[in-house]
Amino acid sequence: MSSHKKNAACSLIAKTVLSALLVFAPYPFRTADADAGYQPQKTVETKEQTVAQTYPAVGTVRPKSETSISAQISAQITDVHVKAGQIVTSGTLLITLDSRQAAARLESAKEALRGAKASRDKALQAIKAAEASYTNAKQHVARIKSFYTSGAATEQEFENAQAGYLQARAALSMSRESLVEAEAGIQQATETITDAQVHLGFSKIIAPVDGEIIRILVEPGDLALPGKPLAAVRTKGGYRVEAHVREGLINTIKTGSQLQALIPTPGLSLNAVVEEIIPYADPRTRTFLVKAAIPAKEGIYSGMYAKLMVPEAHRTIITLDKEAVIHAGQLELVMVKTNGTWQRRYITTIPLDNTRVEVLSGLSANETIGIGEAR
């Protein structure tokens, strides 16, 4: 083995051994020599902080308000006018269905209405004629009756006059019945026209609200059925995370509670407000469905994987400003003020947030740490 490879191997072994000693070494803390001439640019103190241990409840990003679009009639789809991601306003034409059958039914109903109106006009004319005949027959039978009473008319003439009167009355009654039938035909035809117009209107599926098309589920040529979803529209109400929380933690969450929501794909960590807790546990997974609203951010889409961080327990940690940590290769150290002198001390940390770290070993609370390059 060459001397260069031997030196690299020895360096790696030394770092590994030193890191192990730092992690498992008990107090007192491991320190380097004091640096009497060190003067920090500024100082900070380590702080003791109580943080919550969280349980990541797996969930999905959903629109706060989602409208499913479906057909009201059975018909073939002839055209789809929008695509997913398109912004639409209320009344925008989304999908067109085959309207030939509805149009034919409407035309048939209109023809039936015209026929019913013609029958009504004919019945009205017949009633006028029948009323005139009835009036004449009534007057004639009255006149013949007076003649018959005075002996000026025979019994046969009186009977003929009565028969004519009865026929005229029956004709008038039949004419009036014909008018009633014609009026009923007009009403039925009108209702059929209204129904046909409604069905014809159902052939044009429009957006019920302003929003964004998030799904198109059909293509031209598909068969639309009543109740079968054709598209989905997200209204302008933002998003929420719907997560399944195990039943042992459900009592730690209340409506209005603020939790942290993580959406890995866009790399977002957002404040989420619990809006709804479904009061029913899934007997198969022993979880409750929790819905928490999140603010609208660029890069968030419905259906994305998300995690809702649910408080599980609390622990006490030591925190320190990230800029106070000096990195020496893979090692970390800080300048600590001890009994009026500054000393180098090796520590181990993990990131806490963008500006602070959690100290795993090497420091305790309320220690003074110098910031600035050690000499």
pLDDT tens-digit map of 311-362: 887 889 999 999 999 988 889 999 999 888 889 999 999 988 888 999 999 9
Q: Can you give the residue range of the structural domain that contains 348?
A: 18-51+316-371
Q: Which residues contact 263 (CB under 8 A, 6 or more apart)?
A: 61, 241, 270, 300, 304, 305, 306
Facing residues of 307 across strands?
Answer: 58, 262
Indicate if 79 and 227 belong to the same structural domain.
Answer: yes
Residue pLDDT, tens place only, 305-321:
999 999 887 889 999 99
Check residue 192 and give its pLDDT: 85
Indicate if 328 and 360 belong to the same structural domain.
Answer: yes
Tell me, what CATH number does 247's domain have? Answer: 2.40.30.170
Task: State whether residue 366 is helix, strand or coil.
Answer: coil
Q: Is residue 5 part of a domain?
A: no
Check residue 36 and give its pLDDT: 61
CA distances 139 to 133, 134, 303, Å, are 10, 9, 88
Is 363 within 8 Å of 46 (Cβ atoms)?
Answer: yes
- pLDDT of 236 strictly over 80: no
Indicate if 139 and 188 belong to the same structural domain.
Answer: yes
- pLDDT of 9 strictly over 50: no
Indicate if 189 and 260 belong to the same structural domain.
Answer: no
Indicate if 333 and 356 belong to the same structural domain.
Answer: yes
Share of the chain above pLDDT 70, in %: 89
Indicate if 185 and 151 belong to the same structural domain.
Answer: yes
Check residue 103 and give its pLDDT: 86
Indicate if 227 and 256 belong to the same structural domain.
Answer: no
Report residue 10: phi and psi, to 5°. Answer: -65, -40
Check residue 18 and give its pLDDT: 46
Show the tokens assigned to 344.
């180098």
Tell me, what CATH number does 351's domain have? Answer: 2.40.420.20
- pLDDT of 372 strictly over 70: yes
298 burial level (CB within 10 Å; 0-12, 13-18, 19+): exposed
**18 vs 289: which has the higher pLDDT:** 289
Rounded Cα distance, 359 and 319, in Å: 6
Consecutive H or E run containing 13: helix 3-24
Q: Is residue 274 part of a domain?
A: yes
Indicate if 105 and 169 belong to the same structural domain.
Answer: yes
Indicate if 213 and 84 belong to the same structural domain.
Answer: yes
Rounded Cα distance, 169 and 172, in Å: 5
Indicate if 77 and 219 belong to the same structural domain.
Answer: yes
Check residue 80 and give its pLDDT: 93
Residue 21's pLDDT band (boundaries 50, 70, 90)?
A: very low
Residue 5's pLDDT band (boundaries 50, 70, 90)?
A: very low
- pLDDT of 277 strictly over 90: yes
Check residue 34 and give its pLDDT: 57
Check residue 365 and give its pLDDT: 92
Rounded Cα distance, 186 and 197, in Å: 16
Quote the DSSP letter at residue 261. E
Indicate if 75 and 137 belong to the same structural domain.
Answer: no
Strands 305-321 and 326-328: unpaired
Residue pLDDT, tens place only, 51-101:
878 889 999 998 887 788 899 888 999 999 999 888 888 889 999 999 888
- pLDDT of 375 strictly over 60: no
Task: Tell me how many domains the chain contains.
Answer: 4
CA angle 29–31–33, rounded 5-degree value: 155
CA 371, chain centre distance (Å): 51
CA angle 256–262–263, rounded 5-degree value: 120
316 burial level (CB within 10 Å; 0-12, 13-18, 19+): exposed
Query: What is the rounded end-to-end Cα distance, in angstroms, of the chain?
Result: 36
Indicate if 293 and 272 belong to the same structural domain.
Answer: yes
Q: Is residue 7 part of a domain?
A: no
Q: Is residue 331 part of a domain?
A: yes
Q: Is residue 73 part of a domain?
A: yes
**186 vs 147: which has the higher pLDDT:** 186
Rounded Cα distance, 280 and 257, in Å: 19
Nearest residue to 325 (alpha-carbon basis) of 316, 315, 335: 335
- pLDDT of 3 strictly over 50: no
Nearest residue to 274 (alpha-carbon basis) of 325, 231, 310, 315: 310
